[in-house]
Amino acid sequence: MRRTGKIILMVLMSVLLISVCSLVLAAEGQKASKAMTAKSKVAPAAKAAFDANKMGNMAGWDPANWVNPKGDSIRVAIVWPHSGPAAINGQMAWLCATFVAYDINRRGGIMVDGKKKKIALFKADSQSRPDIAKEVCERMVLQEKVHVLIGTSGSNIMKIINQVADKYKVISLNIGALADDLQDATNFSRYAFMTSDSTEAVGRGVAYFYGQIRKKEKKFYILCQDYSFGRELAEGFKKGLKEYYPEAEIVGEDYHKLFITDFAPYLTKIMASGADVIYTGDWSPDAANLLKQSRQMGMTIPFANLFMDEPKMLAEIGVEGTKGLMNIKHFEIAGPAFDNPNVKKYYTAWNTEWKKFRTVPFNSVTFTWPWGTFGFWTHQMYWFFSVMERARSTDAEKIISVFEGDTYQYVNGRVVKMRACDHKAIQGFRMCEFVEPEQQKLSMNMPPYYWAQNSSMCGPSWDIPAEKVIPLMDQNLDRCKGKSATE
C-alpha cells in the first residue's frame, strides 16, 4: 500500500509539475506572441522581396545609351527636372530607373496582361516648373500611353503629377517627394502611392535620434527650403523634439527660396545663434551650396540632413569639412552595409558597370554606389514592379488592389508597408555619422573598406524603429477614419 501510495504521489507531483511548466510556457508564449504581433503591425512578414540571385546579367547597362525594347511594353515616364538648375536630380532618377528596367528586361520582363512584357522608359522633363510639369505629364499619358508616372524631386511638382494621374486614371508613384499634404484629405488620389519617406516622419526621426539615442547636442537651428516640403519637414522636427527631446531648444528658424546662390545672410544668423546643430532638408543644388558656403565662412557646425550625401560635392569640400554630418535615410539599415551575399551582389553589379561608363555625367564619382538615395529610389521602383507582376496587369485598378496593404523587403532586409487608407509607406530610418576614410569601415565592410578617400562619409550608424516614426495620417480623409495608423 505504501509503495502504491508513493507511486500515486509521484504521479500527482509529476502532473502538477507539468501543469506549472505548461502555464509558464503558455505565459511566455503569450508574451512572445503579443510582442511579435505588436511588431508585425509595423513591419509584418513581407509578401514579396528583392532577391539579388534572380537579377539579370547587368553587363552592358549604361544610362547614357538607353534603348527601349521593341513591341508591346510596360511604358513608364520618369518625371524629373532633366534640365535646368536641378538637373542632377533627373540624372540620378534616370540612372536608377535604367538600372531597374535593364535588370527586369534582361530577365525577360514580367508577366502582365497575359504575356511577358519588358519596360520602356521615357524622360519627362519637368524643368522644376509647375506649368511645364502639367504639360509634359499629359503628353506622357495621352501620346506616349504610359502606364505609370514616376516622380520626383519637389513636392510642388509631385502634386501636379498626382493630379494628372488622377485625371487620366493611371498610377502615380512618388519615390522622391516628401510633403505630407500630398496624401491628405485635400490632395489624396486612389491612383497616387507614396513609397517615399514623408516630412513629419523624417523630422520626428531626427528628433528621436538626438533625444533618445545621441543625447548630446541641445540647441538646433532650422534652415529649410521655402515651400511645403521644407516647412512640413521643420514642423515634423519641432513636433519630434516635443515628443522625444523636450529639453532641446530651437534657437532660430529660417526658410529660403529654391536654388539661391547666396546663403551668407542665413549662415551669419546661425553663427550668432549659438546653435549646436543645423537641421535642413535641402536638396541639390541648394544642399551643396549651403554646405560649401558654411565651410568657406569657417563654420564647423554639423548639419542634420537628408540629402547632403552627394559624393562629388563632399569631395570638393574635403574630409574635415564633411566630418560630423548626420545623414538620415530610409533605405539603409545600421551597421555593416554588406552583411549578406544578396547585398554584396546587388552593390557589385552596379559598381562593376559604373566603372565602364564613359559618358558625362554618369562616369562621375557621384554615381559610384547604389547607396543612400540611389538605393532608396531603385528599391521603390522594384517594389512597384513587384506589385505589377503580382497583379499580373498594367491596369491601374488591379495594381491598386495589390498595392494597398502590401509589404515588401528590400535587398538589405528592411521591410516596408503600404498603408491602405492613405497610400503612405510605413518604414524605419537609419542615422549615420560621416567620418574620415579610416573609420568608414564600420559601414563599408568590404574592400577597399571606405566609401571615399577625399571626404568623410558614413561610419557609425543607428536604427530608428518604424514604430517611432509612423507617418502622419489625416483623419479628415474619409478612408482613414477609425483606422489604426499602422493599418
Q: For the chain, what percentages of helix, strand and coil (3-state, to nearest 5) are there?
A: 45, 15, 35
- pLDDT tens-place string over residues 106-155: 999 999 999 999 999 999 999 999 999 999 999 999 999 999 999 999 99
Asked if 123 and 94 count as a contact pair (C-beta separation under 8 A), the reply is yes
On whether the 52-197+339-427 domain is CATH 3.40.50.920, my answer is: no
Asked if 188 and 165 count as a contact pair (C-beta separation under 8 A), the reply is no
Comparing CA positions, the residue from 429, 448, 466 lying closest to residue 326 is: 429
Distance separating alpha carbons of residues 290 and 283, to the nearest angstrom: 10
Distance separating alpha carbons of residues 220 and 235, to the nearest angstrom: 13
Distance separating alpha carbons of residues 197 and 425, to the nearest angstrom: 7
Nearest-5° angle of CA 150, CA 395, CA 80? 10
E-strand ranges in 312-363 read 326-329
Phi-psi region of 99 (alpha: psi -120 to 50; beta: other; left: phi over 0): alpha
* pLDDT, the chain, mean: 92
Query: If DSSP codes are grouped into helix, strand and coil, which group holds residue 467?
Result: helix
Task: Using CA atoms of 309, 80, 374, 169 in order, give the dihedral in degrees to the nearest 10.
Answer: 140
Decide if pLDDT at 23 tops 60. no
- pLDDT tens-place string over residues 319-365: 999 999 999 998 999 999 998 899 999 999 999 999 999 999 999 99
Decide if pLDDT at 395 tops 90. yes
The alpha carbon dihedral of 445, 369, 351, 69 has a sign of positive
> For the residues 282-307, what does the mean pLDDT come to?
97
Distance separating alpha carbons of residues 245 and 348, to the nearest angstrom: 40
Judged on CB neighbours under 10 Å (0-12, 13-18, 19+), 77 is buried
Decide if pLDDT at 103 tops 80. yes
Judged on CB neighbours under 10 Å (0-12, 13-18, 19+), 145 is exposed
52-197+339-427 and 200-329+429-468 share one fold: yes
Q: What is the pLDDT of residue 45?
A: 85
Architecture of the domain whose range is 200-329+429-468:
3-Layer(aba) Sandwich (3.40)
Decide if pLDDT at 289 tops 60. yes
Distance separating alpha carbons of residues 313 and 317, to the nearest angstrom: 7
Say what percent of the chain tops pLDDT 70: 91
Q: What is the pLDDT of residue 37?
A: 30
Length reported for the chain: 487
Identity of residue 445? N
- pTM summary value: 0.89
Distance separating alpha carbons of residues 201 and 178, to the nearest angstrom: 9
- pLDDT tens-place string over residues 29-71: 333 333 333 333 344 589 999 999 999 999 999 999 999 999 9
Q: What is the pLDDT of residue 487?
A: 83
Comparing CA positions, the residue from 373, 437, 419, 385 lying closest to residue 188 is: 419
Return the C-alpha cell found at 135. 504639360
Task: Using CA atoms of 345, 347, 348, 354 in order, give the dihedral in degrees to the nearest 10.
Answer: 150
Q: What is the DSSP letter of 248?
A: -
The residues spanned by each domain of the chain are 52-197+339-427, 200-329+429-468
- pLDDT tens-place string over residues 205-238: 999 999 999 999 999 999 999 999 999 999 999 9
Distance separating alpha carbons of residues 43 and 350, to the nearest angstrom: 28
Q: What is the DSSP letter of 68?
A: P
Q: What is the DSSP letter of 214?
A: I
Asked if 56 and 103 count as a contact pair (C-beta separation under 8 A), the reply is yes
Comparing CA positions, the residue from 88, 87, 117, 85 lying closest to residue 104 is: 117
Distance separating alpha carbons of residues 62 and 359, to the nearest angstrom: 9
Q: What is the pLDDT of residue 44?
A: 57
Element (H, E) at 250: strand 249-256
Distance separating alpha carbons of residues 91 and 88, to the nearest angstrom: 5
Q: What is the pLDDT of residue 14?
A: 42
Decide if pLDDT at 8 tops 80. no
Query: If DSSP codes are grouped into helix, strand and coil, which group holds residue 479?
Result: helix
Nearest-5° angle of CA 265, CA 373, CA 79? 90
Give the C-alpha distances (Å, rounded to integers) separating 397 from 171, 191, 424: 9, 8, 18
Asked if 119 and 73 count as a contact pair (C-beta separation under 8 A), the reply is yes
- pLDDT tens-place string over residues 415-444: 999 999 999 999 999 999 999 999 999 999
Q: Which residues pair with 411 in a beta bridge?
A: none
Distance separating alpha carbons of residues 173 and 193, to the nearest angstrom: 5
Q: Which residues pair with 192 in a beta bridge?
A: 172
Asked if 436 and 401 count as a contact pair (C-beta separation under 8 A), the reply is no
Distance separating alpha carbons of residues 417 and 195, to the nearest angstrom: 9
